[in-house]
Amino acid sequence: MNKQIKFYGGVKLDEGKMTSNEPIITAPLEPLYTVPLQQHIGAPAKAVVQKGDKVLRGQLLGEAGSFVSAPVHSPTSGTVKELSSCLGPAGAQLPAIVIESDGEDTAAEPMPVFANWQEASPDDLKARVAQAGIVGMGGAAFPTAVKLTPPPNVTIDTVILNGVECEPCLTADHRLMLEHPETIITGAKIIARILGVKQIIIAIEMNKPDALEMMTKKAEGTGVEVVGLRVLYPQGAEKQLIYTVTGRKVPSGKLPAHVGCLVTNVASAAAIADAVCLGKPLYERVTTMTGTPVVKPGNILCRVGTPYSSALALCGGVKEDPLKIISGGPMMGMSVYSLDIPIMKGTSGILLLAADEVSQYTPNACLRCGRCNDACPMEMIPGILSSTIEFHHFSLAERWHVMDCIECGCCSYVCPAGRPLVQHMRRAKAVANATRRAAEAASKK
């Protein structure tokens, strides 16, 4: 591995990781679980159950709707109360299945266990990842089986496990590395088996010395390398992480696979190990419940479909009314207006902010100070792009590489004019994607 290289831009942040020392606790059973059929990037899963059906924990509720999709499974045993919809963290209504728990939590027959996965075929292991509904659990929720299928004529030689968790306030991955290091390492080796890769790197920021020590100790003799990285946001962003640990730069419009790398979250690796070694599909995850209004912030192992309100109640509720609720962390998370949203596979954290922690401002005209340019880890020109997008010149913004934006929020964080730079980028990307889909649909007529 090359000497660590500092990526361009980035910002230093107040970490606010008040739950670093809080062990993972398991949430009790809920009377109702609202399980979204779209917990991932891509097509929603297609329901395979009907109202009134009896289901078991781990049973398939929805099959993958397309190649870029992922199945969903029941978080407990009970009855399908209804096929409905629910509010998602992005504000859209999502198709969902409501499960009424029977209180027994009876497990379905597990998927066949790979007793000796080291000798299993890569195709069989990848099929298990797909069957278990595993997605990127760092927040993006991209179907992992698709990520494990690189483009033709592309060779992966390095697997990087992302244990950086650079988003402020979140500690779910941190606690997972402390409490389940062997599972993560097993998952990393299974990924390497699928891809035929020998170099495996687990990257952890230096602000987690206990996790770094634990993972290093457990990785001894396994062929897995653990590296500590300088603390700089967004160190855990895929392209920045690759550049830091390998010196390889992913070109504009290309994927990590094009430079021989695959990056996946440590939680996703642990889920892969559970799917292969235990026959367990992905129906639960560790979520950080945090923020100064929370009575006892913590890290909770929650079933998918658990309402945010139940996770909050498990932490003792609030000691003051929050002014803002964020699904995720403060930099890349989505502000939500309800606690009735269900926890999903990509819900890494739920953050509550008090009134004195939320800035109220009116956006002003760009000052042309250039701070956003200096902070942008993708080496873009956010201020100029923002003005371009304000005047609806979306095609020009696309030509100026707005699609490369990773929505990290560094530009908005440093902007003295309080401009909604990330929101402008998201809007332009959404318009570009909608235009592309419309063109594809027209071409098929």
- The whole-number pLDDT of residue 83 equals 97
* Rounded-to-integer distance, Cα 409 and Cα 401, Å: 17
Give the CA distances from residue 23 to residues 33, 139, 179, in Å, rounded to whole numbers and listed in that order: 24, 21, 8
> Domain-by-domain residue ranges, the chain?
117-277, 371-438
Q: For residue 370, what are its two tokens? A: 């250039």
CATH architecture for the domain at 117-277: 3-Layer(aba) Sandwich (3.40)
For residue 204, report the phi and psi dihedrals to the nearest 5 degrees. Answer: -135, 135
- The whole-number pLDDT of residue 442 equals 86
* Rounded-to-integer distance, Cα 35 and Cα 74, Å: 8
What amino acid occupies position 191?
Answer: I
- The whole-number pLDDT of residue 372 equals 97
- The whole-number pLDDT of residue 405 equals 96
- The whole-number pLDDT of residue 153 equals 87
- The whole-number pLDDT of residue 363 equals 87
Q: Please, what are the averages of pLDDT over each run of 10 residues along the chain (445 residues)?
A: 79 96 97 96 95 98 94 98 94 95 96 95 97 92 94 93 97 98 98 96 97 97 96 96 96 93 97 98 98 98 97 96 95 93 96 91 90 97 95 94 96 95 95 90 82
- The whole-number pLDDT of residue 3 equals 60
- The whole-number pLDDT of residue 445 equals 74
Going along 256-345, which residue ranges are E strands?
261-265, 284-290, 298-303, 324-327, 334-336
